[in-house]
């Protein structure tokens, strides 16, 4: 379980993330300065819409099919209610957790999201910088518009993990893992649910897929093995010589339409020395299979509703998966998280860490890396403050006695 440790800046250990609330009020009272990015999770998406182009906004805000899975994710959170406890010593909270042998400042993780250059020129490099500043691990997507090496440099001594969209070419897969390993990425996240792109009407109606024009292909274009294979096949051309051709070849390898198998994980295990986490687990039997295959963790996730429409909300299956394998590997959670209280609910249902995606992307689109930072700081402040109000002192105190599933007919879908 998470351990409380001494911290020089806090009598009870850990960062005091809730202080962001005081900072906002102080700026308003003394400097007449209001937040650039809204603190209201139900207004954030609409604010981002006014800053982003139609294609960019649709890419992040859209989902698969009729968005039924996105709706299910949010409704699942609405139907778990907090049961606060009183007269507990929660003046100072400690949000720190231990994941894969490393103590991190909070259970919040920056989810791997690609093509960040379509949201703001600060892109992945900028978000990796602010992740280090606020003490949140940064998970780099294979579909990045910055290279593995550039993001590592920007992140400095921060905590970073690498997410793999698993190529069909084993030599390229090995090269990507070597680069991540050599650049200080501690944990490997293998995404299982995106070996082909889903039916996404918001993108289809604009005939928009950024990868086709080289956007989000920098991981491949900067890879020495991919470059060598491309040159050999195309008369010594580089990807820069023919962006569209290189894009097609990279996309055909990464989003090939050909699924990998459980047995293929042996290659990953042979090539990666650190923790391996499988992302996209929704069924108890798959979670058990992950244990059988020697995985170190899983992410209970439906890709934020971007892949299979009509799927079950990830929070619905979290408790049963935790009950089945939570004592055998690390269970992380992703999909539908919008607030600090959402984070608490996922932790109470057994997650050890929580990935968050769309909200900070909206912040990035509104105000660049500082917008992303402030969205994350707001979620962390909400997490910190709400833990105190609920009577929760440490992350270890988040347990099922603090929540109850209640289905009110009046519950409606909140922000996607």
- Ranges of the chain whose pLDDT falls below 50: 1-11
Spot the catalytic one: 120, 296, 303, 416. 303
The model's pTM: 0.96
**Rounded CA separation 145/123 (Å):** 7
Tokens of 405: 């599933």
* Residue 303 falls in the annotated catalytic set: yes
Element (H, E) at 150: helix 148-155
Crossing angle between the packed helical segments 314-325 and 68-78, to the nearest 10 degrees? 70
* DSSP 3-state of 174: helix
Which pLDDT score is estimated for 416? 67
**Rounded CA separation 18/5 (Å):** 19
pLDDT digits (tens, 9 = 90+) for 261-281: 999 999 999 999 999 999 999
**Rounded CA separation 185/168 (Å):** 22
Which pLDDT score is estimated for 223? 98
């Amino acid at each position: 379980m998470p351990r409380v440790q001494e911290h020089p800046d806090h009598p009870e250990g850990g960062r005091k993330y809730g202080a962001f609330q005081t900072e906002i009020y102080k700026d308003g009272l003394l400097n007449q300065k209001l937040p650039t990015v809204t603190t209201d999770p139900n207004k954030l998406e609409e604010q981002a819409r006014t800053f982003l182009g139609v294609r960019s906004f649709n890419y992040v805000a859209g989902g698969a099919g009729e968005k039924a899975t996105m709706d299910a994710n949010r409704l699942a959170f609405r139907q778990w209610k907090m049961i606060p406890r009183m007269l507990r010593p929660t003046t100072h909270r400690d949000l720190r957790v231990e994941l894969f042998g490393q103590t991190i400042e909070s259970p919040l993780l920056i989810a791997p999201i690609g093509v960040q250059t379509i949201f703001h020129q600060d892109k992945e490099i900028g978000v990796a910088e602010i992740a280090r500043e606020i003490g949140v691990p940064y998970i780099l997507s294979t579909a990045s518009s910055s290279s593995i090496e550039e993001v590592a440099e920007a992140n400095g001594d921060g905590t970073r993990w690498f997410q793999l969209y698993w190529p069909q070419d084993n030599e390229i897969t090995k090269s990507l893992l070597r680069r991540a390993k050599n650049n200080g990425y501690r944990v490997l996240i293998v995404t299982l649910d995106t070996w082909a792109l889903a039916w996404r009407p918001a993108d289809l109606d604009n005939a928009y897929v950024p990868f086709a024009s080289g956007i989000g292909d920098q991981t491949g274009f900067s890879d020495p093995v991919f470059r060598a294979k491309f040159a050999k096949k195309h008369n010594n051309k580089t990807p820069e010589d023919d962006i569209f051709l290189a894009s097609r070849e990279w996309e055909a390898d990464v989003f090939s339409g050909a699924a990998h198998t459980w047995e293929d994980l042996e290659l990953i295990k042979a090539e990666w020395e650190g923790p391996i986490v499988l992302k996209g687990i929704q069924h108890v039997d798959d979670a058990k299979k992950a244990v059988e295959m020697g995985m170190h963790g899983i992410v209970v996730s439906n890709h934020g509703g971007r892949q299979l429409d009509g799927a079950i909300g990830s929070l619905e299956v979290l408790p049963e998966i935790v009950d089945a394998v939570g004592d055998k590997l690390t269970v992380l959670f992703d999909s539908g998280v919008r607030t600090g209280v959402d984070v608490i609910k996922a932790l109470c249902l057994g997650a050890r860490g929580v990935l968050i995606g769309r909200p900070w992307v909206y912040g990035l689109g509104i105000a660049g890396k500082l917008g992303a930072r402030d969205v994350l700081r707001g979620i962390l402040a909400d997490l910190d403050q709400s833990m105190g109000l609920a009577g929760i002192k440490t992350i270890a105190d988040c347990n099922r006695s603090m929540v109850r599933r209640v289905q009110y007919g009046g519950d409606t879908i909140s922000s996607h």
